[in-house]
């Protein structure tokens, strides 16, 4: 199977032949960091453009169409505008926490990137408790949001931050239980083990109805966790101006804006890995010829194709459903999604013990 493994092996061997082990390792760390930053920048530019184009299609209009072919340079122009804007700090704000909050959100997003496998043998850190690592680190993003809302010295920002905190803490329960259902099937917390367990078919198909229920709950929960419509109560423009980042401008605002789209990519990458095999091609049981043909498609194409498909689904939600009230949002989690998730996890455990999955 074609993959990015050859590129990483070439760089590792070249550095090992030309530098001592310590310097080679430090150089690899720097390359990984620069690559992660470049990926974030590229994702931010492309996903904002994709969002605008998806919105345009949903609303039967053109969307960005002036700067470059199909408006592909519109987001670059917006980025330049944000770079040139002055970053103001409101009177009475806690300057240290106000400036720190956007970086906390971005650092958390960068940390979550570590165990995700972008292609076969192509990931930053192959940790054997990858799923636990993801759920633990992702919960830290709420700290940056609460920090921004409190430090801004603005009542709208504080209200948005409190809403976001309640929302993220609530929906993490359902998202975590959905992830656990796949862990129960595979018997491992390693992202690589979960991917390899889908060599003869993706869990969304092999896991029967409980896997489909887990996937639906996961998508709803992560949409709420990323503060996306119809769950964007933390940034409800008609009520709270811009929510927790009302007082932010310039590149500080850009970091919050970028973090939202990076988080969308990350949660969709996790969903693609858990339910759709990540970089694993579409295989059907012991259909050797069919599976061999599927293997000709590079693993990175499989991964990014699945991830972009889930991103489109989340964008589709935004331009289809109206925003919920805060009471409706919390009722949906505590009265419906959480009980269903708990029962579904029990059902998935029975399926795994009895060996009823394919």
**167, two tokens:** 């929302």
Mean pLDDT of the chain: 87
Number of helices (H), then strands (E), in the chain: 16, 0
pTM score of the predicted model: 0.90
| pLDDT value for 236 | 67
Q: Measured between alpha carbons, how far is 10 from 43 in angstroms, rounded to an integer?
A: 26
Q: Measured between alpha carbons, how far is 280 from 285 in angstroms, rounded to an integer?
A: 13
| pLDDT value for 215 | 95
pLDDT in tens, 300-316: 899 999 999 999 999 99
Residue ranges per domain, the chain?
87-354
| pLDDT value for 3 | 57
| pLDDT value for 286 | 77
| pLDDT value for 20 | 85
**279, two tokens:** 């970089």
Q: Measured between alpha carbons, how far is 358 from 173 in angstroms, rounded to an integer?
A: 28
**Residues of the chain under the 70 pLDDT cut:** 1-5, 234-240, 357-358
| pLDDT value for 252 | 86
| pLDDT value for 305 | 93
**Cβ–Cβ under 8 Å, residues 249 and 102:** no
pLDDT in tens, 239-286: 667 778 888 888 888 888 888 899 999 999 999 999 998 898 888 877
| pLDDT value for 1 | 44
Q: Which residues, 6 or more positions from 254, have their beta carbon under 8 angstroms from its beta carbon?
A: 79, 82, 83
């Amino acid at each position: 199977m074609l993959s990015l493994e050859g590129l990483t092996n070439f760089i590792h061997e070249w550095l090992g032949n030309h530098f001592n082990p310590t310097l080679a390792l430090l150089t690899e760390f720097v390359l990984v960091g620069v690559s992660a930053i470049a990926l974030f920048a590229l994702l931010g530019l492309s996903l904002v453009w994709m969002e605008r184009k998806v919105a345009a299609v949903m609303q039967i209009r053109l969307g960005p169409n002036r700067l470059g072919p199909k408006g592909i340079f519109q987001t670059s122009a917006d980025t330049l505008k944000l770079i040139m804007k002055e970053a103001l700090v409101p009177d009475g704000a806690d300057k240290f926490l106000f400036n720190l909050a956007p970086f906390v959100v971005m650092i958390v997003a960068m940390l979550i990137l570590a165990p995700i496998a972008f292609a076969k043998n192509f990931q930053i850190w192959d940790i054997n408790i990858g799923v636990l690592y993801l759920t633990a680190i992702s919960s830290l993003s709420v700290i940056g949001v609460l920090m921004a809302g409190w430090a801004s010295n603005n009542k709208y920002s504080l209200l948005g931050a409190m809403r976001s905190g309640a929302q993220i803490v609530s929906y993490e329960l359902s998202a975590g239980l959905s992830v656990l259902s796949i862990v129960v099937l595979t018997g491992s917390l390693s992202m690589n083990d979960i991917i390899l367990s889908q060599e003869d078919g993706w869990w969304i198909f092999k896991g029967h109805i409980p896997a489909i229920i887990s996937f639906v709950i996961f998508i709803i929960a992560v949409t709420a966790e990323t503060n996306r419509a119809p769950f964007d109560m933390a940034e409800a423009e008609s009520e709270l101006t811009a929510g927790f980042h009302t007082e932010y401008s310039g590149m500080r605002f850009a970091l919050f804006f970028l973090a939202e789209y990076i988080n969308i990519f990350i949660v969709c990458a996790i969903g693609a890995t858990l339910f759709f095999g990540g970089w694993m091609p579409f295989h059907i049981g012991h259909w050797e010829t069919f599976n061999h043909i599927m293997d000709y498609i590079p693993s990175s194409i499989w991964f990014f194709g699945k991830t972009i498909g889930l991103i489109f689904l989340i964008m589709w939600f935004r331009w289809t459903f109206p925003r919920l009230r805060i009471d409706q949002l919390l009722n949906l989690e505590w009265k419906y999604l959480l009980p269903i998730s708990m029962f579904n996890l029990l059902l998935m455990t029975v399926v795994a013990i009895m060996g009823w999955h394919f």
